Amino acid sequence: MRAVVGLIATLCASVVWADVVKVRVSSRSIATDEELQVTFTFSGKGDAQLPDLKADWNVAGQQSGRSFQWVNGRTSEEVTQTYVLTPKRAGELTIGPARIISGGQASASSEPVTITVRAAAAQKPSEAQKAPLQGESANQQLLLVAEFERDVYYAGEPFVAAFVLYVQQGVQLRRLPEQGEIALPDSVQREDVLGGKVEEEGTTTRNGRAYVRVPLFREVWKVLEAGTFTVPSYKVAIPVPSRSLFDDQQRLRLKTAPLTLEVKPVPTAGRPSGYREGAIGQFEAKASLQADEEHARAVLTVEVSGSGAVDVLDAPELGNVTGARVKLLPDDKRGTTQATKDGLKGKRTFQYLITPERTGTVFVPAVEVPYFDPKAGAFRSAKTEPVNWTAKVASPPAAAVPAAPPSTKAPAVDAKPVEVFHSIVTEADFDAAPRRPFHRTLWFPLSVGLPVLAWLGLVVVTVVRRRRSSLSGKARVRGAASRAAARLDEAARLGARGEAVELYAAIAKALRTYVDERFGLATLGLVGDVIRQELTARGVREAAAAALIQELEACDFARFARSAADPSELAAAIARARQVIEGLEGRHA
C-alpha cells in the first residue's frame, strides 16, 4: 500500500513540477485592421523563449507578469507574456511555438497557432457614420467617429479629414487617449489644424444620448490623383480603470473602419477660358481703384477670397479697358491662407497699373475669376463690379512725345526743371537712388570691428560661465521650492479671475519645472510610472512621488470635469500642489 501511495505522489510531483508552455489567443480570425492579443504562459524553472513574430506581425503593445509558488520546500516560477499584434498582410498567418530552454535544450514547447487574417472591408464615410461604434466599448460611453463631409471629392480639392471621440456626458477620462498614426501616400498633401491641442468642442446628441465632442485628429487633405483613395483605420487607446489587483489601469482600444473616397478629375467639358488647374472651392471677388491724379495713373486692386485652393489662382485677365494702358504689377504671392476646422480659407490680391492715354472716363469692365465648385459639381466665376474713373490728366505713349531740339541758350535762373513721370508701383522692385561707396559708409568700420568685439565678448561669457558653473546647479536646487511657490501664486491669480483651464496648466507647469530644477529630471514626455520610478531612485518617498503623479493627472484632465471651474475646487487644487511640493522637499530623513 505504501508503494502505491509513493508511486502516486511521485507521479503527481512530476506533473506539478514539469515545464509547461501554454498559448492563448483572443481570436482565430481577424481583419487586417484589427488587433490580436496573444498570451504566452511559461511554467517551470527554465528560460522562456518567445517565437519570432516580426515576419507576419507588428507589435502594438506588450505586457509581462511573473509569479512564484513554493510547495514542500520547492519553488516554481510562472512567467506571462502578453502581446498585442497587428497583421502585416491578409492570409493564413502563423504564430510559432514558444519554448522553455533548460540545459541548452527545449524542455517544453507550445503548439503553433494559425490565424486567418481577412482583408478589412472598407466603408464609405456616409456608411461609417451610421455605425460608428468599434472595439470593446459596448456600453456606448465612448464613440470614435470618422467625419468626412462627402463620399466624393475632386483631385486637388482641399477637404477636412477628422476623427472625433464622443464622450458621454458624465463620463470622465483620467488621461488623454494614445493616438495612432495615419500613413498616407505622397500624392496626398496634408496640413494640420489642431496644432497638437485636444479640447472639447461642444455637445451633441447621438442615439438619444448626450455626448461631448473631442476632436483627436483634424487635417486639411488634398488628394492630387484621381481614383479610389483608401483612408486607413484610425486607432486610439484610452486608459480606463482596471479590475485587476496588480494593475491600476487598462487600455480600451477603439478604431474606425477603413474608408474609401472616390476622387474624380475636374471635368474638361465646359471649362471656361482662364481656368487655372486646381482652382477648386467657392470664391468671391471685389475690385477697388486708387487714383493718382497728379501723375495721371491709378492702381486697380482685385481681391479674391473664399474657401478652397485660393492659393493656386493666377492673376485674372482684364477685359478691354477703354482709353488706358494696363500693366500687371509684380505678384509676390500677396495674400494669406489658413487651415481651419471648416477647410482651407484665405485670399489673394492682384494689382494692375492703369495709365490713361486721354482725359475723360476710363471704363474698367468686371473682372472674372473662373473656378470649379465641388459641391455643385460645376464651373463658376467670381465677378467684380465694373469700375469707372474720370481721368483729368492724360499720359500719352512715350513715342508720341516729340524729342526737344538741342538748345543753345543757357537756361534761365528761375526756370523750373522738367518733371519726368514714371509708372507708379505699390512695391519697389529696385533701388534707383545713387549709393555711396561701401568703404565710405558707416558699415565699413563696423564690419571690420564687430568680429573682434564678438570674439572678445565670447571670451568674457565663457569665463563667466566657467566661474558660475560649479554653483549654478546648487543655486537652482536651493531656489526650486521658492520659485515653485511664486509660480503657484501666479496660478492662484488666474483662479481668482475664473480662468480654470489656464490655472490647471499653470499648476502642472509649476510642478514639472520644480521637479526639473530640484531633481534634475525632465518630466516632459514621461509617463507617470517612469516619473515615479526616477524620483524614488533619487531618494523620494513613494507616497510623495505618487502624490505628484496624481496631481499632474488631475491637472491634465480637469477639462473633462464639469466641476473643474468651481472656485472651491480651484483653491483646493492650489493647496494640493503646495502640499505636493512640501512632501517632495522632505524626501530625506
Closest-CA residue to 119 (of 263, 257, 262): 257
Q: Distances in Å between the alpha carbon of 181 and those of 26, 210, 216, 257? A: 24, 28, 11, 14
Cell numbers standing for residue 183: 500613413
Cell numbers standing for residue 326: 494696363
**Predicted pLDDT of residue 464:** 66
Backbone angles phi, psi at 233, to 5 degrees: -60, 145
Closest-CA residue to 84 (of 53, 56, 61): 61
147-172 CB burial, b ≥16 within 10 A, e <16? bbeeeebbbbbbbbbbbbbbbbeeee
Domain with CATH 2.60.40.680 in the chain: 18-118
Closest-CA residue to 323 (of 285, 353, 358, 289): 358
- 358/370 Cα distance (integer angstroms): 32
* Residue written as grid cell 514626455: 525
**Predicted pLDDT of residue 561:** 56
**Predicted pLDDT of residue 400:** 46
Out of 3.40.50, 3.30.1380, 2.40.420, 2.60.40, which CATH number does the structure's domain 125-264 have? 2.60.40
| CATH code 2.60.40 for 281-400 | yes
- Number of residues that this document lists for the chain: 589
**Predicted pLDDT of residue 421:** 39
The CA-based diameter of the chain, rounded to the nearest angstrom, is: 151
Question: What string of H, E and C letters represents the secondary structure of 479-537?
Answer: CHHHHHHHHHHHHHHHHHCCCHHHHHHHHHHHHHHHHHHHHCCCCCCCCHHHHHHHHHH
pLDDT in tens, the chain (589 residues): 454 445 444 444 444 456 889 999 989 998 887 889 999 998 877 788 889 888 899 887 788 877 766 655 556 678 888 998 989 888 999 999 999 888 888 888 889 999 999 887 788 888 877 765 444 444 578 889 999 999 999 999 999 999 999 999 888 887 888 887 888 899 999 999 998 888 898 899 887 889 999 999 999 999 999 999 999 889 888 887 655 444 445 678 888 888 999 999 999 999 998 899 999 999 999 999 999 888 889 999 999 999 999 988 989 988 888 889 999 998 766 678 899 999 999 999 999 999 998 989 999 999 999 999 999 999 999 999 999 989 888 876 655 445 455 544 444 444 444 343 344 444 444 344 445 666 667 677 777 778 878 888 888 887 767 665 544 455 566 678 888 888 888 888 887 887 887 888 888 888 888 888 888 777 766 777 778 888 888 888 888 888 888 888 888 767 555 455 677 788 888 899 999 888 888 744 3
Domain with CATH 1.20.120 in the chain: 478-585
Q: Distances in Å between the alpha carbon of 228 and those of 153, 218, 309? A: 10, 21, 21
Collapsed DSSP state (helix, strand, coil) of residue 447: helix
For the stretch 444-494, pLDDT in tens is 777 777 887 888 888 888 776 766 554 445 556 667 888 888 888 888 888
* Residue written as grid cell 477620462: 173
Q: What is the pTM of this model?
A: 0.54
559-587 CB burial, b ≥16 within 10 A, e <16? bbeeebbeeeebeebbeebbebbebbeeb
Strands (E), 267-342: 281-292, 297-308, 324-328, 335-340
- 96/111 Cα distance (integer angstroms): 7
478-585 topology per CATH: Four Helix Bundle (Hemerythrin (Met), subunit A) (1.20.120)
Q: Distances in Å between the alpha carbon of 396 and those of 17, 36, 238, 324, 419? A: 109, 81, 74, 9, 15
- 36/60 Cα distance (integer angstroms): 10
Q: Distances in Å between the alpha carbon of 124 and those of 165, 176, 221? A: 19, 28, 17
- 340/300 Cα distance (integer angstroms): 30
DSSP assignments along 71-98, one per residue:
ETTEEEEEEEEEEEEEESSSEEEEEPPP
| CATH code 3.30.460.80 for 18-118 | no
* Residue written as grid cell 516560477: 77
- Pairing type for strands 235-241 and 113-118 reads unpaired
Asked if 162 and 218 touch (Cβ cutoff 8 Å), the reply is yes
